[in-house]
Amino acid sequence: MEKRILLADDDIDFGTTLKQYLELNKFEVFWAKDGVEAFDLLKMHSFDICIVDVMMPKLDGFSLSKKISKKFPATPFLFLTARKNKPDRIKGLSIGADDYISKPFEVEELILRINNIIKRTKQQQTINIEEEVFETLQIGKYLLDVKNLSLTIENHTFKITEKEAQLIVYLYKNKNSLIPRDDILDNVWGQSNFFSGRSMDVFISRVRKHFKDDKNISINSVRGVGLEFVIKDQ
């Protein structure tokens, strides 16, 4: 079965060429020329991955990706952009991008990245703790709903991304112990490199904020080593 890709890019020449290359590599490609059209396609079809250009009319890539993360949290996405500046990369990671590649690039490299992301996503669809599947976890004052991707404290419930849920579950599994940084990257991101390392830093910061209302929970960084997910009285 062909893997289905949503390509969102308003550059006609570039989009035409990339779509042809992807189809030659056995992908089914839906091509949207702006962010609004892309989101409409997402509501009508399921996709294995979205490839999103940052600069688009009607709805830019960052805004589109925020909507993807909120409405379709299980769908991975990567950014394609001509921009190379650091703030854009950090912004993309903070939204939840699985990867970020700057134009121009080798199509072979993009295809490898696409396949790696899809593979990791499929492997992470089911979150396991000691071979038992958990739908909910009580973590201090918080209730993590793994299935519905939400955290609840007292009467307040808020949505989280699938990657955040995977990270929280892994930290919980290894609570109150020092977790090597590379172990987190290998088990949650499926690889240990510069990009995944920066992505992990962004997600750790977000998870810290999620748990800020329980003083018995803390995520402590041990420089050059890893993290401790400390839960007092648990």
Residue that is written with structure tokens 């993009």 in the block: 110
Band (pLDDT 50/70/90 cuts) for residue 103 is confident
**Measured CA distances, 148 to 68, 117, 162 (Å):** 15, 22, 9
pLDDT attached to residue 130: 45
What pLDDT does 129 receive? 44
Lowest mean pLDDT among 48-52, 70-74, 141-145, 214-218: 70-74
The helix/strand/coil state of 157 is strand
Residue pLDDT, tens place only, 1-18 = 678 999 999 999 999 999
Cα distances (Å, whole numbers) of residue 212 to 73, 131, 137: 23, 29, 17
Nearest Cα residue to 175 out of 224, 127, 225, 216: 216
Range 212-225 average pLDDT = 90
Kind of pairing between the strands at 128-129 and 132-133? antiparallel
- Using DSSP bridges, classify how beta strands 132-133 and 226-231 pair: parallel, antiparallel or unpaired: unpaired
Q: Is-cis flag, bond preceding 73, omega within 30? A: no
Interval 180-209: pLDDT, tens: 888 888 888 877 777 778 888 999 999 999
- 8-49 pLDDT tens trace: 999 999 999 999 999 999 999 999 999 999 999 998 888 999
**Consecutive H or E run containing 179:** strand 178-180
**Please, what are the domains in the chain?**
3-123 (3.40.50.2300), 128-231 (1.10.10.10)
Query: The dihedral of CA 194, 144, 95, 27: what is its sign?
Result: positive
Average pLDDT on 45-67 reads 90
The single-letter code of the amino acid at 4 is: R
Dump pLDDT digits (tens) for 151-179: 999 989 999 988 899 899 989 988 888 88
Range 85-93 average pLDDT = 73
Closest CA to 34 of 18, 19, 12, 5: 12
